[in-house]
Structure 1
Amino acid sequence: MNFFITLSGKRVKQGFFIIIISFFTALFYFSQASVHVPVLSGKDGPKAIYKGDKGIALTFNIGWGDVQAEPILEILEKEKVESATFFLSGSWAERHPDLVEKIKNLGYEIGSLGYAYEDYTEIEEEKIRRDMDRSIEVLNKLDVKEVKLLRSPTGHFDKRSLQIADELGLTIVHWSLNSQDWKNPGVQAIVKEVQKARKGDIVLMHASDSATQTAKALPEVISIIREKGEMVTISHLIANGKVKTTIIP
């Protein structure tokens, strides 16, 4: 009888051990399969990307202005930056087709910043949809094809705008590190913010005319990012690593 009890105990332990091993094996394969597939939606609905885990994405918003964008592009070209993502408002792109062409020719990624630079949390759903749609139409006419990325014009978004973007085949991209360059706090203050960058960060900068210190800070910003990791586009960050998402309650 004692032998029977001992043997049963061993079998129970062995069975438990096999279950544990099977669980972790399944978990391993699931995690490996998920590495290249960002979770953009779930039971709570579409989500916005704000961070990855490989590389650092340098991004620029351009909503308006005639002065700052070109010198920023010249610095990026001079510094041999091959990967950056520009979010352009449709109304700005319409007025500056030459700069849109230059961004394209330099090989930079282009996403939408909406059309009229309105706060999506303060306008009705149909107007949100028209604004998103119109921006994509403008970019397509300027030969920017297959636009898949959208940054909410003012940085504000809600479940409605997330859902509408998803229906239009767009992924809303937020940021994990704000350079604060739009406040014009001083070149070194901008640089200090970017020094906080870590792998996977999406860095927000601006090439609108309101950001008058961005161009001066940019060479040092580029140097810092290169020291910390590979500079990548948003699409690369999404496709080649896990991404972190957020949803507005």
Structure 2
Amino acid sequence: MPMRNRSRLFLLTFVVALFMGMLCWPANAVQAKPNADEPKAIYKVDTDKKLVALTFDISWGNKIPEPVLKILKDKQVTKATFFLSGPWTVRHPEIAKQIKNMGFEIGNHGNLHKDFSNYPDAWIRQQVGLSEKAIKQVTNVKTTLIRTPNGDFNPRVIKCLNSMGYTVIQWNTDSLDWKNPGVSAIANRVLTRAVPGDIILMHASDSSKQIPQALPQIIDGLRAKGYQFVTVSELLAQAKVKTEVQ
């Protein structure tokens, strides 16, 4: 058989074999179904009610937290969730107590500000245990919500934290206030992205220099859109109620 004909025959055989192989390929090998049992973090809650949770991470400084708290008081915002790091809580116990005494919800933001996914479960348990102990000693709050440092996690990390009794809280709307992009940029980002059931990420650390100016605009703007403020736990309860009704 001439070389040209051999090449054509080989090519035809290869194409037929490839086609038959695709027909016999298992459907789940092409597109795996998502695992419903895989541990998950909470970004937002599915609800028709105009409810949002304002959340503030604090891991450094004492210049920004107090103005943020004053704004919330002046604007009569009584529901918000603060995620506190252990070392910050120890260094600034009076501010941590003020957050508790104002009735705001307190969550855990870890101890060392390092990505949990880079460390084994034993390290994660130790770090979360240290911050949990510090928050409990200062505020008498046993935390059950956690926002991991840098928002870093993977399924293993979530599974480890769930086994400690924690619900991992992320965010759906990120203010990017830590980048200090400008007061209007921070406020507009939140106001244009917020949706019912949203968890909104902000910071009350000293690195977020513009949040005291942006926060009043965010509060007023969300209220003008008909939103009410709740804690993260209250938002999660809405999802539970909806599930039970269904």
SS of the counterpart of 2:196?
A: coil
- Candidates 85, 89, 99, aligned match of 1:89: 85
- Candidates 143, 154, 162, aligned match of 2:139: 143
- Candidates 46, 52, 59, aligned match of 2:55: 59
Alignment match, 1:223: 220
Q: Partners of 1:46 and 1:130 in 2: how far apart?
A: 21
Q: Partners of 1:184 and 1:123 in 2: how far apart?
A: 30
Q: Partners of 2:170 and 2:221 in 1: how far apart?
A: 21
Q: Name the amino acid aligned to 1:189.
A: A
Alignment match, 1:71: 67
Pairwise CA distance, 1:156? 1.0
**Is it true that 1:107 corresponds to 2:69 in the alignment?**
no
Q: Percent identity?
A: 44
Pairwise CA distance, 1:144? 3.2
SS of the counterpart of 1:174?
A: coil
Q: Partners of 2:224 and 2:195 in 1: how far apart?
A: 10
Show structure 1 runs of 4+ deviating over 4 A: none
Contact 1:225 1:231 in 2 (8 A): no
Pairwise CA distance, 1:241? 2.5
TM-score if structure 1 supplies the norm length?
0.78
Alignment match, 1:212: 209
Alignment match, 1:45: 38
Q: Partners of 1:217 and 1:98 in 2: how far apart?
A: 25
SS of the counterpart of 1:91?
A: helix
Return the structure number with greater relative CO, CA threshold 8 A, min gap 6: 1
Q: Partners of 1:143 and 1:184 in 2: how far apart?
A: 30
Alignment match, 1:29: none
Contact 2:100 2:139 in 1 (8 A): no
Would you say how many aligned residue pairs link Structure 1 and Structure 2?
202
SS of the counterpart of 1:154?
A: helix
Cα RMSD of the aligned pairs, angstroms, is: 1.5
- Candidates 169, 173, 177, aligned match of 1:177: 173
Pairwise CA distance, 1:142? 1.3
**Is it true that 1:236 corresponds to 2:229 in the alignment?**
no
SS of the counterpart of 2:100?
A: helix
Consecutive unaligned residues of structure 2, counting only runs of 5 or more, are 1-34, 242-246
Q: Is the radius of gyration larger for structure 1 or structure 2?
A: 2
Pairwise CA distance, 1:242? 5.7
Contact 2:173 2:200 in 1 (8 A): yes
Pairwise CA distance, 1:226? 1.7
Structure 1 segment 156-171 matched on structure 2, within 5 A: 156-171=152-167
Q: Name the amino acid aligned to 1:240.
A: Q
Q: Partners of 1:222 and 1:128 in 2: how far apart?
A: 35
Alignment match, 1:4: none
Q: Partners of 2:52 and 2:184 in 1: how far apart?
A: 20
Q: Deviations over 1:140-198 (max 9, x none)?
A: 11133231100011111111210111111000000000011010000000011011211
Q: Partners of 2:179 and 2:36 in 1: how far apart?
A: 37
Contact 2:183 2:213 in 1 (8 A): yes
